[in-house]
Amino acid sequence: MTRPTAAPRIDSARLKTHVDALNALAVDCSPDASSIHLHNGRDTSLPPADLHGSYTNNRPLPTEGIADRHAYIVGSGIAGLAAAFFLIRDGHMPGANITLLEALKVEGGALDGSGNAEEGYLIRGGREMDMTYQNFWDVFSEIPALELPAPFTVLDEYRIVNDADKNYSKARLLEKQGQLKDFSTMGLSKLRQLELIRLLLARKEDLDDITVEEWFSQDFLNTNFYMFWRTMFAFQNWHSVLEMKLYMHRFLHLMDGLNDMTALVFPKYNQYDSFVRPLMAWLKAQGVKTQYNTIVLDLQIEAGDKTLTTTAIQCRHNDKEETINIGARDLVFVTTGSIVEDTAYGDGDTVPQLTLAEHSPAAGSGWQLWKNLALKSPVFGRPEKFCGNVPASMWESATLTCTHSALTDKIKALSVNDPYSGKTASGGIITFTDSSWLMSFTVNRQPHFPDQPADVLVVWVYALIMDKPGDFIKKPMVECTGNEILTEMCFHLGLIEQVDEVIAASKVRTALMPYITGQFMPRAKGDRPWVVPAGCSNLACLGQFVETHNDVVFTLESSVRTARIGVYSLLGIKKQVPDIFPGQYDIRRLLRATRTLNNDEAFLGEGILRRLLGGTYFEHILPLGPDEKPEDLHKPGMFEQQLSALRTMFEKSQTLDAPKKWIQAAIDTLRGRR
**Residues 474, 491: contact at Cβ < 8 Å?**
no
d(CA 669, CA 200): 12
* Non-local CB neighbours of 295 within 8 Å, separated by 6+ positions: 103, 315, 316, 317, 364, 365
Q: What is the DSSP letter of 251?
A: T
d(CA 591, CA 588): 5
Residue 602, classed as helix, strand or coil, is coil
DSSP H helices, 141-183, are 154-163
DSSP H helices, 148-239, are 154-163, 190-201, 212-215, 218-221, 224-233
d(CA 455, CA 505): 11
Per residue, the 3-state secondary structure of 74-105, as one string, reads ECCEHHHHHHHHHHHHCCCCCHHHEEEECCCC
- Our answer to whether residue 619 is catalytic in this structure is no
Q: Which amino acid, residue 308?
A: L
* Non-local CB neighbours of 327 within 8 Å, separated by 6+ positions: 69, 70
Q: Which of 581, 582, 573 is nearest to 540 (CA)?
A: 573
Cα-based angle 585, 558, 264 (whole degrees, multiple of 5): 65
Q: Determine if the peptide bond prior to 383 is cis (ω within 30°).
A: no
Strand partners, 290: 100
* Non-local CB neighbours of 240 within 8 Å, separated by 6+ positions: 207, 209, 210, 211, 212, 520, 521, 522, 523
d(CA 108, CA 115): 15
Cβ atoms < 10 Å from Cβ of 379: 17
Let me know if 144 is exposed, middle or buried by CB neighbors in 10 A (0-12, 13-18, 19+): buried
Catalytic residue chosen out of the listed positions 128, 243, 396, 484: 128
Catalytic residue chosen out of the listed positions 247, 269, 462, 568: 247
Q: Which of 133, 158, 131, 135 is nearest to 145 (CA)?
A: 158
Q: Determine if the peptide bond prior to 533 is cis (ω within 30°).
A: no
Pairing of strands 179-180, 173-175: antiparallel
- Our answer to whether residue 345 is catalytic in this structure is no
CA 301 to each of CA 249, 346, 365, 427: distance values in angstroms, whole numbers, following the listed order: 37, 40, 19, 48
- What is the greatest pairwise CA distance in the chain? 84
d(CA 446, CA 638): 46
638-642 contacts: CB < 8 A, separation 24 or more? 638/602, 638/606, 638/607, 638/610, 639/607, 639/608, 639/610, 639/611, 640/607, 641/607, 642/602, 642/604, 642/605, 642/606, 642/607, 642/608
* Non-local CB neighbours of 85 within 8 Å, separated by 6+ positions: 139, 143, 279, 282, 283, 563
- Provide Rg for the chain, Cα atoms: 26
- CB-facing half-sphere around the CA of 385: CA atoms within 13 A: 21
Cβ atoms < 10 Å from Cβ of 605: 12
d(CA 158, CA 358): 43
Q: Which of 243, 132, 200 is nearest to 582 (CA)?
A: 132
Enzyme catalytic residues? 128, 247
